[in-house]
Structure 1
Amino acid sequence: MTGRPRIQDILPLSPFQEGLLFHSLFDPTDTDVYTVQWAFDLKGTLDAAALRAAAETVLRRHPNLRASFRQRKSGEPVQVIPTEVPLPWQEIDLSAQGREEAERAAARLLVEDRTTRFDPARPPLLRFTLIRLASDLHRLVFINHHLILDGWSMPLFMRELFTLYMNRCDESALPQVTPYRDFLAHLANQDREAGRKAWSAVLADLDGETLVAPGATRQGSTVPERVHAELSAEETAALVQQMRTCGLTLNTAIQGAWGIILSRLTGRDDVTFGATVSGRSPELAGAATMIGMLINTVPVRMRVVPSESLLVGLQHLQDAQAQLLQHHHFGLSELHGMAGTKELFDTCIVFENYPVDPQSLDLTGAGLHVASMEVKDAAHYPLRLVVVPGERLRMWLDYRPDLFDQATAERIVGWLLRLLEEVRVDPSLPVGRAEMVDPAERALVLEEWNDTAAVVADGTLPVLFEEQVVQTPDATAVVFDGIELSYREVNERANRLARLLVGQGAGPERFVAVALPRSADLVVALLAVVKTGAAYVPVDPDYPADRIAYILDDAHPMCVIAGFGAEGVLPTDTPQIRLDDPAVQARLSVLGRENLTDADRLGALDAGLPAYVIYTSGSTGRPKGVVVEHRGIVNR
């Protein structure tokens, strides 16, 4: 092909393609995680020229595989389809090296291949590398950008490739191509208004996003790491049968378990997460065999009610999803607008129920055998759960290592397996009683982490404070509004005030009201009261007069310690010690500043004595009424 390529078609983008293009272009200098790499080890005699011709034929048959992605002058993204483009194909011969060295070199080539970005504006967004490891062993590496192919398409693509290789590019053995533009036309013909109503109802009153990694960038180019899990054939069959008995799908069971996990991880009882849907509507002729990008990611909303049974919760989830089956074509940006948020979720589930035909990999007629197959793909989500149904249910959790470590990912997978076990064994179990943690984790939380027992010496607050005075007498103890008091100064002031209180009858089983605003004097007064053995009754001088009168009348304190701001708000029938009174200050100045002993008090200090009395209104979370706090116990 020479000169400027001719344009065969110009097509719009699907909503999912628009999202992928945004992520691909966000930082063109970094790794693009939305590439998929397949590696097939082909054992036997291989005709490289015939395989290349087969690949060229696949590229010619499907115009959308030749797409480049550009913007119109208006800013609208479009996919431009040239009539033809050369197939990116390279052959590398490592057979002269030893087998181990050849394998290492091939592994390096695969890493380099996967980290080499596609330019969305330069088609095609796919390439082949054929590595010769030995005379009878080749590794075929195929990589593409997710913009042009989804997971459902890959088995179809490889079936075409190998069928054409087997038949020397005779296309008669293949089904007629359904143009990708038919899918885009199908999207354009959907009832948008009905879809908006359905999604608006689902997203109504949503109070926020569900994020396991709040604050993390969603354009992360970090290649995820992976934790695998698998159910046995017996466990898989039992789970599938239980779901059928309950009228539920296996997909619902996975989604419900994931919703419960997100609830535990985020503390939310109304969670959302992404689910990848095929986009292959039965209303679209040829959709099942179409090769291209048809999938979409839509939000799944689940309300997690601890008192509901697992079965009821799963039924509600499945019923809600059934209402949206005709509206999976909406893009996330539009759905975000309906929900009134920039983001709905940062986790996603992919249910890979693809039409894999084992016969498509049977190359024995051409003297070849597919000895192994490896697939590498990724996404930008902090957590992505991939589920592959089959005789054994296989799952893996992709996690971004910049946000989660392997131990955390393994623990989350363990939670998932145990929740599926609960669903299989007893779906009538309340959600709140569903067991997620294993015995070792339970022992860690309840026993090892909770093993906080320690020997605490007997003592009272006055004694403990006086011991601290001995250790750090000049250290700052109280700072308020420009005033700083050391431990020694606080202790000496409290000792003098305590002696004054004792002289007026303060002691064990007696109450002293303290009607001081927040201040350094308040700290001194509270300490002075407990030094006498009496209990203090805090009274906010800003309370209404009738509230203060009620407290003092009910508590019957022997006196009230007051100061500035208490004028006119305290009843006159209760004795007062006014710290702003010069006469009181004069009396305090001549009292001893040394610590009180039991001989100085009206009774010995005891940890069982009341320490304070608080009058509550219920806003503290405690019952409305009086709380009497003892030095060793609590009475209500």
Structure 2
Amino acid sequence: MFMTMLSAYYVLLHKLSGQTDIIIGSPIAGRDAKQSEKLVGMFVNTLALRQDVSTAETFADLLENVKEMTLKAFEHQHYPFDKLVDDLSLDRDLSRSPIFQAAMGYVTDSLDVNLKGLTSEHVMVHHTVSKFDLTLHIFEQEEQLSIHVEYNTDLFDQETIHRYMNYYLHVLDGMTAQPERTFADYCLMDKVEQAAMILGKNQTDTPYPKRTLQELFEEQVKRDPYRIALSYMDEHMTYEALDKKATKLAAYLQSKGIGPGSLVPMLFDRSFDMIVSVLGIIKSGAAYVPMSPEYPDARIRLIVRDTQSDVIITQSHLADRLVGFYRYKDYHGQANTRNKCSVSKRIIDYR
């Protein structure tokens, strides 16, 4: 039973982490010699049980591999765990235990204590500090198994642990019902959780505001005119300043015949000018067609030709990319002292 529970734990950790080479720590009584049975003392040692789950295809294969590995580990149960840590000369990290961070303890002996003249009762001790990230304590009593979980609250909350334990029980069901099944495609979630994840989580319908981007932006300007709208490097621009510059550009575009139905190509580096131009084009009633300076000249010409636009907006240092198929004209909008920007078929240099 121990090896079955351990195999299911390997599958659980493999599925949750995506790792195949997994080490689980497990305490062992250390009383394999008959002479130690009646001795009073602490003989418990910790075994580091390492298993590569990628070497098995089915649950049955994994169980066989775990059985073989565990029996070999039992042969070395007297090798002190502390000495193992020292011998490996591992780099210690105070945030986690060495060698393994997941553990499993399994108790098969009866917990009934018969002391002459005394009565006893079982008391479950609740630890306030978790020794490892995740530990399963499994108690076998008669025909029942009880599982207690100890976990690091810095990593997991109670809801997550409940879900993990449901996964663990689901794996055990799969192992016992279909031992010859491959576990690579075995889903930890039951049908109810799968439906909730696939259908429930994808119910992302959101009421869309029946207002244009321009209206939403202008509402924000009225609400917080002096709030920072744009930040780049050490420069900032408020909503009010952004609105004024975009409105000025929109008026200029409209004076050149740009309005609803127009397409306006724009060639910009990332800058305040780019955002001002986007909003200015929208405010004019037109649609903007963004182009990147990284585009080859042939693609820029193709986009410009397809838009059949009388106007392009760009920055002055990029205007040379457009010379030859548009005439150049400066537009002074004072968008940003750091950059100069242009409009026209006019190429407009938006400053």
TM more than 0.5: yes
2:286 is aligned with what amino acid?
Answer: G
Aligned counterpart for 1:258 among listed residues 4, 9, 13? 9
* Structure 1 residues 316 and 521: alpha-carbon distance in aligned structure 2, compared to 1, 3 A threshold: farther
Q: Counterpart of 2:349?
A: none
Matched, 1:387 2:138: yes
Aligned counterpart for 2:28 among listed residues 264, 278, 295? 278
> How far is the alpha carbon of 1:290 from its aligned partner?
7.2
Please state whether the residue corresponding to 2:332 is helix, strand or coil: helix
Asked if structure 2 preserves the Cα contact closer than 8 Å seen for 1:539 and 1:548, the reply is no
2:9 is aligned with what amino acid?
Answer: W
Q: Counterpart of 2:174?
A: 422
> How far is the alpha carbon of 1:523 from its aligned partner?
1.0
Asked if structure 2 preserves the Cα contact closer than 8 Å seen for 1:259 and 1:304, the reply is no
Over aligned residue pairs, what C-alpha RMSD do you find?
Answer: 4.3
* Structure 1 residues 484 and 403: alpha-carbon distance in aligned structure 2, compared to 1, 3 A threshold: closer
Aligned counterpart for 1:585 among listed residues 321, 326, 332? 332
> How far is the alpha carbon of 1:474 from its aligned partner?
3.7
Asked if structure 1 preserves the Cα contact closer than 8 Å seen for 2:29 and 2:44, the reply is yes
Asked if structure 2 preserves the Cα contact closer than 8 Å seen for 1:347 and 1:382, the reply is yes
Q: Counterpart of 2:106?
A: 351
1:145-164 correspondence to structure 2 within 5 Å = none
Asked if structure 2 preserves the Cα contact closer than 8 Å seen for 1:497 and 1:525, the reply is yes
Asked if structure 1 preserves the Cα contact closer than 8 Å seen for 2:48 and 2:100, the reply is no
> How far is the alpha carbon of 1:397 from its aligned partner?
1.6
1:79-129 Cα distance to aligned partner (Å, 9 max, x none): xxxxxxxxxxxxxxxxxxxxxxxxxxxxxxxxxxxxxxxxxxxxxxxxxxx
Gaps of 5+ in 2: 336-351
> How far is the alpha carbon of 1:348 from its aligned partner?
1.1
Q: Counterpart of 1:137?
A: none
> d(CA) in 2 for partners of 1:287 and 1:263?
40
Please state whether the residue corresponding to 2:331 is helix, strand or coil: helix
Please state whether the residue corresponding to 1:387 is helix, strand or coil: strand
Please state whether the residue corresponding to 2:266 is helix, strand or coil: strand
2:105 is aligned with what amino acid?
Answer: V
> d(CA) in 2 for partners of 1:482 and 1:576?
34
Please state whether the residue corresponding to 2:150 is helix, strand or coil: strand
> d(CA) in 2 for partners of 1:550 and 1:337?
61
> d(CA) in 1 for partners of 2:334 and 2:149?
75
> d(CA) in 1 for partners of 2:325 and 2:206?
44
> How far is the alpha carbon of 1:434 from its aligned partner?
2.3
Asked if structure 2 preserves the Cα contact closer than 8 Å seen for 1:261 and 1:416, the reply is yes
Please state whether the residue corresponding to 1:490 is helix, strand or coil: helix
Q: Identity, % of aligned pairs?
A: 17
> d(CA) in 1 for partners of 2:302 and 2:59?
52
* Structure 1 residues 477 and 277: alpha-carbon distance in aligned structure 2, compared to 1, 3 A threshold: closer
Q: Counterpart of 1:269?
A: 19
Aligned counterpart for 1:551 among listed residues 273, 288, 299? 299
> d(CA) in 1 for partners of 2:290 and 2:21?
46
Asked if structure 1 preserves the Cα contact closer than 8 Å seen for 2:229 and 2:236, the reply is yes
Answer 1 or 2: higher relative contact order, Cα 8 Å, separation at least 6.
Answer: 1
Q: What is the TM-score with the length of structure 2 in the denominator?
A: 0.68
Please state whether the residue corresponding to 1:566 is helix, strand or coil: helix
Asked if structure 2 preserves the Cα contact closer than 8 Å seen for 1:514 and 1:538, the reply is yes
Matched, 1:563 2:312: no
Asked if structure 1 preserves the Cα contact closer than 8 Å seen for 2:232 and 2:271, the reply is yes
> d(CA) in 1 for partners of 2:133 and 2:258?
67
Please state whether the residue corresponding to 1:385 is helix, strand or coil: strand
> How far is the alpha carbon of 1:478 from its aligned partner?
1.8
* Structure 1 residues 270 and 553: alpha-carbon distance in aligned structure 2, compared to 1, 3 A threshold: farther
1:190-205 correspondence to structure 2 within 5 Å = none
1:300 is aligned with what amino acid?
Answer: R
Gaps of 5+ in 1: 1-249, 589-636
Please state whether the residue corresponding to 1:293 is helix, strand or coil: coil
> d(CA) in 2 for partners of 1:430 and 1:303?
10
> d(CA) in 1 for partners of 2:250 and 2:21?
57
2:265 is aligned with what amino acid?
Answer: V
> How far is the alpha carbon of 1:353 from its aligned partner?
3.9
> d(CA) in 2 for partners of 1:311 and 1:274?
19
Please state whether the residue corresponding to 1:393 is helix, strand or coil: strand
> d(CA) in 2 for partners of 1:511 and 1:402?
53
Asked if structure 2 preserves the Cα contact closer than 8 Å seen for 1:478 and 1:520, the reply is yes
> How far is the alpha carbon of 1:539 from its aligned partner?
0.8
* Structure 1 residues 472 and 294: alpha-carbon distance in aligned structure 2, compared to 1, 3 A threshold: closer
